[in-house]
Amino acid sequence: MDYICGFTFAPFVPAGVLSTEKAKESLRTMAEQSGANFVIFVPAAYQDNATSEEIDFTSPQTLGDDELKLMIDEAHALGLGVAIKPTVNCKDGTWRAHIHFFDEDVVCEPKWSNWFKSYTDFQLHFARIAEEKHADMFIAGCEMVMSDHREKEWRQLIADIRDVYHGPVSYNCDKYQEHNVTWWDAVDVISSSGYYPIDDWERQLDRIEAVVRKFDKPFFFAETGCMSAEGSNAVPNDWSVEGKSDPEGQKAWYDEMIRACAARDFVQGMVYWSWTADLYETDEVDEHRDYDIYAKPALGSVADYFSLKTGNRRFQ
C-alpha cells in the first residue's frame, strides 16, 4: 500500500453539495495546494437517536448516489486514491459512538440484530458504488465504540461487504480504542481516528504500534486533525472548544503529529479532517476556527510533508 496523504472531503453534506462547481474547484484546490494523493468521501446516514434501529440514507439530508459517483470520477482524474466511508449519525445530536442496545435481544426492546440489519443495508449500498466506481478502499464505518465488541456481527458485515466490493476493506475505530477491537484480522487495513493531545503522541503511538504488530496489518489514521481555536491542540477531539483564533497553535499540533508519525514505520499515512466543499475567503481565516487548514499555516506543514512522502505521485 502506498503511503496515504489525504483529506476527508466535505463530510456529511446533504444532497446537491458535491455536484456544484464550487465543490469540484475546492477538490482541485485541495489536490494542488496540499499535494494529497488520497481523499475520503463520507456519505451520511441518520437514525433518530442512539437506540433507534432504523437508519435512513436516502433523505435530502444525505449525499446523492449520482453526485458521489461524479466526485469519485473527479478525484480519480486528479490522480487521487478514493475511499468511501459511509457513516451513521444521530438526528438528536448524540455522538454515534454511543449507539447501543442490550447485549441480549429482549422482547419489545430495540435490538442489535435489527440495527445491524439496517446498518448492513446502508454499508452494502455504498459498497456496491465503491465496486462500480473502482474505489481504492472501503471503510465500513467510523467510531462505533459501543458496537465494537459485537465481534460476530462485524465479522459478518465485513464478509457481506466482500461479496460486493473486491478492494481493500478497513474500519475506522475511535481514538484510544485501537486495542479494544478484537477482529482486526477480518479487515485488510487497520485505521483509526488520531485526535491525540499535542504532548501525548509518543505514548499513544507506542500503544497503537503494539496492536498493529500483533495483527500484522497496514495502518493509517483515517481521521486526524486539530482546530485553529486556542486550546484545541491540547484536546483536539473536542469540537466544542471556543477559544480565540490560534492558527499557530493549530500548526504546532500538525508539526508535532507529523514529526511523531514520520518516525514510526508502521504508520502508513494520514487523512486529515477535513476540507470543505465551499472554500472561505483567505482573509476570513480568523472567523473559521474549526478543523479546516485552507489558507492557514498548517497547510504549509502538511504540503511539505505530503510532497516529501509522495513526490506528487498518483496513489496506487
Strand partners, 272: 7, 224
pLDDT digits (tens, 9 = 90+) for 45-61: 999 999 999 999 999 99
Helices 65-77 and 21-34 pack at an angle, to 10 degrees, of 30
CATH 1.20.58.760 fits 4-310, yes or no: no
Contact (CB, 8 A) for 227 and 248: no
CA distance linking residue 223 with residue 239, whole number of Å: 14
What's the pLDDT at 311?
A: 75
Q: Which residue in the block uniquely carries the three cell numbers 502508513?
A: 268
Residue at 210: amino acid letter = A
Per-residue pLDDT of the chain (316 residues; tens, 9 = 90+): 999 999 999 999 999 999 999 999 999 999 999 999 999 999 999 999 999 999 999 999 999 999 999 999 999 999 999 999 999 999 999 999 999 999 999 999 999 999 999 999 999 999 999 999 999 999 999 999 999 999 999 999 999 999 999 999 999 999 999 999 999 999 999 999 999 999 999 999 999 999 999 999 999 999 999 999 999 999 999 999 999 999 999 999 999 999 999 999 999 999 999 999 999 999 999 999 999 999 999 999 999 999 999 876 555 5
Strand, coil or helix: 247: helix
For the stretch 74-87, what's the b/e string if a residue is b when 16 or more beta carbons lie within 10 angstroms of its beta carbon?
Answer: bbbebebbbbbbbb
pTM (2 decimals)?
0.97
What's the pLDDT at 178?
A: 98
Q: Are strands 189-194 and 137-142 parallel, antiparallel or unpaired?
A: unpaired
Grid cell digits, residue 272: 486529515
> What one-character-per-residue DSSP string does 183-211 give?
-GGGSSEEEEEE---TT-HHHHHHHHHHH
